[in-house]
Structure 1
């Protein structure tokens, strides 16, 4: 039996055309076969071999399709994922997983019942800066980390137009869109917090969805991890800053893969994919073997291709799944708690911390 995994892509908007199709087609063994586009055939211009269909039902009914990739607005994730699983397909769904953790749990149970792979596109685990942080912590170069701060800011103070991400439906707003990535990264690096304190707001005039968050994860060890995003930051904060018993690490800039994908580059053909310029390497000030060390740490090259390669290998029984659906559900649970914390004006305990630690 062939190990080739045939892929059907639902949606060829920004997410589908920029973050998924170029990456899928860069993985040997993944074959982009059909794309659902309601009114156009743009995918066929770049990938002439694909078949463009108008309705997702045509993917579900095609026995040749092994994997369905859902890149619709998050407000529709639940319905598309459920139908794909019921049709006997493996599923990758864009983040955020679903607007509610209850919906996420239902889909996880359905995937188990169907015996199918379900995973969420937490591609920011494959950013070079995150990979570098993970290695710094693995080697304990900062000692015991006591404080960390992750930022995803920008300067966009005036509402110009409204897309689905900025509407008022469940699962919209910057906390679901960007905050879910930072939550996922923080939990992978430091584990599930004991409590969470959220400040989630709508700051811009005429905005309908939250466009600001300042969320702190609190750990029994005393560690505090602050996650923050604002549309009013013209002078950038560090993307990541970590401070521990041996020293500090501060990193500016953002992984270059997104900009390269937006520019139309293909991971399989671009030179030095995911490599970050030296001027953006993070600065470290620490102690190593009793010596005081100051300098820069070369950023590990990021690779979104590794996400899809892992999915393919897991479907073929050759690797453990990197992004488990339970982990993606946990991120939604933390979002729900942070939103409640913001409403209540107080930190809230994380009641599922002990159970989540065994994922």
Structure 2
């Protein structure tokens, strides 16, 4: 018997749609790229030309009226996520929302309520759950290679001390609801930590700008501390003033061992360079980027190289989505899980503003 398939409509045709969604949707046989909402196609930027046979709409309102659309993927700026997701859900569509989910926990909770009422699936694109380095670390933690974990450092640092040029097409450097580094990068780091270690009990945070010149007031950096009753402390950090040959990614310490890893997962870098998910070597790290595991043997520390696992890649997100649509498994990242991350971000913002540690 043939597998069931679902028609996918993508809202937006910018970097996110072209790089992180459409290529991976097309790798899953059960998902069919059916339509794209692109407000203003150009001769050199036209979804219909890039993907012959799809339907092209100029508004989300028009696309959700199409009864053939089963799943709507929202790839627009975060300040539009709530209204577009609500429209799609109330039109009877399953929905995937690009991260950050929504600017506020209240909006996230409302969307989850609507999805439940409509009996539709609501997922958020936390694709970095399938970063090869995080998958490697997760295996070490779960197989007890580190023993009881007491400190977990997760970084997304870069050296970009100059103020970015104003670009009307890019929201990531603008002061908007759901903008700033804590929403852009923090959602990834916090989601990974919560997935691996659970929700914390308290939050302390410092959010601001490291740049000398910052005319917009954009918050480009953050340090968030997650406190656990067990004594575990998570430090999630992103900065733009970090002149390093190789940037620290993970430093996780336990009673039985320490794992240290430099460099970001290579998938985004490869995608930006033009690689496709089907290309040989996609998602695989070179050996010089492997992490290290240090354990105590005969009373002395012994360091060994830990090869990065062969990753399931971001395609796994959409494989899991297809299985969930068929009623055969959980969502790859549910709206309920993503709402908890937004709650942590709101607490982090309040902690930074008031100088207090807050209970979750």
Task: Please indicate, yes or no, whether the TM-score normalized by the shorter chain is above 0.5.
Answer: yes
* Rounded Cα–Cα distance in structure 2 between residues aligned with 1:30 and 1:289: 54
Distance 2:54 2:315 in 1: 20
Q: Is the 8 A contact 1:12 1:37 kept in 2?
A: yes
Structure 2: tracts of 5 or more residues without a match: none
Pairing of 1:78-157 with structure 2 (within 5 A): 78-157=82-161
Q: Distance in 1 between matches of 2:343 and 2:295?
A: 35
CA distance in 1, matches of 2:272, 2:175: 27
Determine if contact 2:25/2:33 at 8 Å carries over to the other structure.
Answer: yes
The aligned residue for residue 351 of structure 2 is 341
1:54: how far off? Answer: 1.1
Shift of 1:256: 1.3
Asked if structure 1 preserves the Cα contact closer than 8 Å seen for 2:210 and 2:221, the reply is: yes
SS of the residue corresponding to residue 84 of structure 1 reads helix
Match of 1:76 among 76, 80, 102: 80
Shift of 1:55: 1.2
What TM-score, normalized to structure 2? 0.93
Structure 1: segments with no counterpart, 5+ residues: 351-359
- Give 1:27 deviation, angstroms: 1.3
Alignment map for 1:26-41 (pairs within 5 Å)? 26-40=27-41, 41=45
Distance 2:298 2:67 in 1: 59
The secondary structure found in structure 2 opposite 1:166 is: coil
Q: 1:311 aligns with which of 287, 305, 321?
A: 321
Residue 46 of structure 2 is aligned to residue 42 of structure 1: yes
CA distance change for structure 1 residues 79 and 220 in 2, over 3 Å: closer, same or farther? same
After the TM superposition, which of the residue ranges 47-56 and 133-142 deviates more from structure 2? 47-56
Q: 1:51 aligns with which of 48, 52, 55?
A: 55
In structure 1, C-alpha distance between the alignment counterparts of 2:178 and 2:98, rounded to whole Å:
12
* Alpha-carbon distance in 2 for matches of 1:190, 1:83: 34
Counterparts of 1:1-359 in structure 2, within 5 Å, are: 3-40=4-41, 41-162=45-166, 163-204=170-211, 205=213, 206-235=215-244, 236-267=246-277, 269-287=278-296, 293-302=302-311, 303-350=313-360
**Cα distance, 1:294 vs. partner?**
2.2
**1:159 Cα deviation from its structure 2 partner:** 1.4
In 2 relative to 1, CA 167–292 (structure 1 residues): closer, same or farther, beyond 3 Å? Answer: closer
Per-residue Cα deviation, 1:251-277 (whole angstroms, up to 9, x for no partner): 01111111222223221x211331111
Per-residue deviation, 1:216? 0.7
User: How far 1:310 sits from its partner (Å)?
Assistant: 0.5
Deviation at 1:169, TM superposition (A): 2.0
Structure-1 separation of matches of 2:66 and 2:298: 60
Q: Describe the superposition over 1:88-129 as per-residue Cα deviations: whole angstroms up to 9, x where unpaired.
A: 000000001000000000000000000000000000001001
Alpha-carbon distance between aligned partners in 2 of 1:194 and 1:213, rounded to the nearest angstrom: 19
Please state whether the residue corresponding to 1:250 is helix, strand or coil. Answer: strand
Could you report, residue by residue, the CA deviation over 1:172-213 in whole angstroms, capped at 9, with x for unpaired residues? 101100001100011111111111110001332213321010
Deviation at 1:321, TM superposition (A): 1.7
Query: Is contact 2:102-2:342 (8 Å) kept?
Result: yes
Q: 1:39, CA displacement in angstroms?
A: 0.9
Please give the secondary structure, in 1, of the residue aligned with 2:172. helix
Deviation at 1:45, TM superposition (A): 3.6
Separation of aligned partners in 2, 1:31 and 1:132: 31
Take 1:36 and 1:276, find their aligned partners in 2: how far apart are those partners? Answer: 35
**RMSD of aligned residue pairs (Cα, Å):** 1.7
Q: Structure 1 length as normaliser, TM-score?
A: 0.93
3-state SS of paired residue (1:270): coil
How many Å apart are 1:288 and its aligned residue? 7.6
